[in-house]
Amino acid sequence: MKRTTAALVSVLCAVFVLHSFPASASESFTLNIPLRFNPQQETGEVRITLTLNAAPAGSQLVVNGNVTLNLGDTKPVGTDSATYETAGGNDVRITYKPLSNFGVDFCNAQNALEKNIPMRFVGAQDVTDYRITSYIVASPTVECSAVSKHTGDTPANLVLIDDGVAPVLTATNKGRHPFDVGIVLDKSGSMNDLPPGANIGANKASILKSAITNFVAEWQQMDQPTMDGAEWSHDRLGDIFFDGSPTAQTLAGADLPTNVWLRRANNWATVSANVNTLTPGGSTSIGGGINEAMKQWKLDPAHDLSLIVVTDGMQNTSPLIAVTGSGFLGLTPGVRHAGRCRSGAADEHRFRNVRSFLHQRQRFDDVRRPRHDADRYPQRQYGLDGPDPSRHDDGQGSERAAAADHRPLGATRRLRRAMGSADARGARPRGLPSERDRCHP
């Protein structure tokens, strides 16, 4: 009888263990925001995406040990700011703004200090991996009210130490957040011409095709998955041609609903093959090309957007990029903000400043809720031609502003500089070249 009772008790205990409720999977870490030693471009925002093993409902974030955020909360942390929100699927996003490091705007951080902010994820879920990206002012001479440029130069990072309450975070660092990159290409008739000063050799369209092919291949090679788990398979490229009117290129394997944005994992050689179909002819609507890229992205805004605009001449077909009453360059309809114009010949300086306009970025906090901050358009114009006041102007005899670079490899380098550092993985910088030449996402 005693043996029977003991066996019954053992069975009941086993059943209890098998059906016990899940315990909290709290994990802790420290957000480190190092000094960049540039008071006009200190880190003004950090985004961290945590991927969980289940939906994030009921989870919380504890900051500095005494500020608890539920999903959807934004709260002050001293004079800093922290946000904790869903980011689609099993992802949650942490946005931290070290506002205490800045004076009147984001270009005034003379008294900035390195930040080490203890954080603790609290919930029944487990954190499986994370991504982190830092943002700085894109151009202090243009816009100081918002940070809008990804930086891979001295970015923020997660220090994996416990806070004395919960165990240390155990998760895979997947690297920076993915990019959406739109390549906006001039196919006007002048792209059939030889570069200035050349009597023989490749025409400008051939140089463009070679440069884009090299750019795509090099970026794909540089950001291959790493042994420690970082990967960028969700980076996307889109391709837009323009002459007098723009045409978004549909690509095999591209994401629905637009069929324009192709993920890295779905064979970027398709992008290069499509670029090689470009046939010059027609006039030049740079504004139309930019608007079309923005339109296609807004239909499917998965990630921060960057545009690379490649052209050999001045605009001569609407919609035109023009100086607005605010002193910014504007494009109607579509892009609203751009670089400030300087005095001088209108079109020459307008297009020199298009590069400031193209420095800026458009980003979404998530794919459903746009955030209408200024300075959101991270694009840059690169030309294949030099000054020539006699051709491709708008009737005012103004000259083209882009510097000549007739070599395919040289053009590729210029395009790579348009992207700069494609990574921001803390102590493990990787990706395209230095962020100093890249304005963002």
Give the CATH number, domain containing residue 189: 3.40.50
Distance, in Å, from the CA atom of 361 to the CA atom of 64, rounded to the nearest integer, reads 31
| Cβ atoms 71, 57 nearer than 8 A | yes
Confidence at residue 414, expressed as pLDDT on a 0 to 100 scale: 46
Q: Is the dihedral of CA 267, 270, 273, 278 positive or negative?
A: negative
Distance, in Å, from the CA atom of 239 to the CA atom of 246, rounded to the nearest integer, reads 11
Does 48 share its domain with 83?
yes
Q: Is the dihedral of CA 356, 328, 134, 291 positive or negative?
A: negative
Does 140 share its domain with 281?
no
Domain end among 115, 147, 173: 173
Counting Cβ atoms within 10 Å, is residue 154 exposed (0-12), middle (13-18) or buried (19+)?
buried
Distance, in Å, from the CA atom of 230 to the CA atom of 213, rounded to the nearest integer, reads 25
Element of type H or E holding 322: strand 321-323
Domain end among 135, 158, 173: 173
Query: Is residue 434 classed as helix, strand or coil in its secondary structure?
Result: coil
Two tokens, residue 418: 């348009």
Counting Cβ atoms within 10 Å, is residue 244 exposed (0-12), middle (13-18) or buried (19+)?
middle
Distance, in Å, from the CA atom of 203 to the CA atom of 214, rounded to the nearest integer, reads 17
Residue 379 domain boundaries: 179-437
Domain assignment present for residue 22? The answer is no
Q: Widest CA span of the chain, in angstroms?
A: 108
Query: Is residue 52 classed as helix, strand or coil in its secondary structure?
Result: strand
Does 167 share its domain with 290?
no
Domain assignment present for residue 272? The answer is yes
The pTM of the full predicted model, rounded to 2 decimals, is: 0.72
Domain end among 173, 205, 231: 173
Going by C-alpha positions, the residue among 420, 412, 400 that lies closest to residue 352 is 400
| Cβ atoms 102, 72 nearer than 8 A | no
Distance, in Å, from the CA atom of 102 to the CA atom of 100, rounded to the nearest integer, reads 6
Query: Is residue 423 classed as helix, strand or coil in its secondary structure?
Result: coil
Confidence at residue 19, expressed as pLDDT on a 0 to 100 scale: 38
Does 219 share its domain with 293?
yes
- The tens place of each residue's pLDDT in the chain, 441 residues long, gives 434 444 433 333 333 333 333 445 799 999 999 999 999 999 999 999 999 999 999 999 999 999 999 999 999 999 999 999 999 999 999 999 999 999 999 999 999 999 999 999 999 999 999 999 999 998 898 889 999 888 999 999 999 999 999 999 999 999 999 999 999 999 999 999 999 889 999 999 999 999 999 999 999 999 999 999 999 999 999 999 999 999 999 999 999 999 999 999 999 999 999 999 999 999 999 999 999 999 999 999 999 999 999 998 778 888 887 765 544 455 554 333 333 222 223 344 444 444 444 444 333 322 222 232 323 333 333 334 333 323 333 333 333 323 333 334 444 444 444 433 333 333 333 333 333 223 333
**How many structural domains comprise the chain?**
2
Sequence-ordered list of residues with C-beta below 8 angstroms from that of 295, at least 6 positions apart, any chain: 248, 334
Q: Which amino acid is present at 381?
A: Q
Two tokens, residue 326: 């605010």
Does 166 share its domain with 193?
no
Does 250 share its domain with 318?
yes
Confidence at residue 142, expressed as pLDDT on a 0 to 100 scale: 80
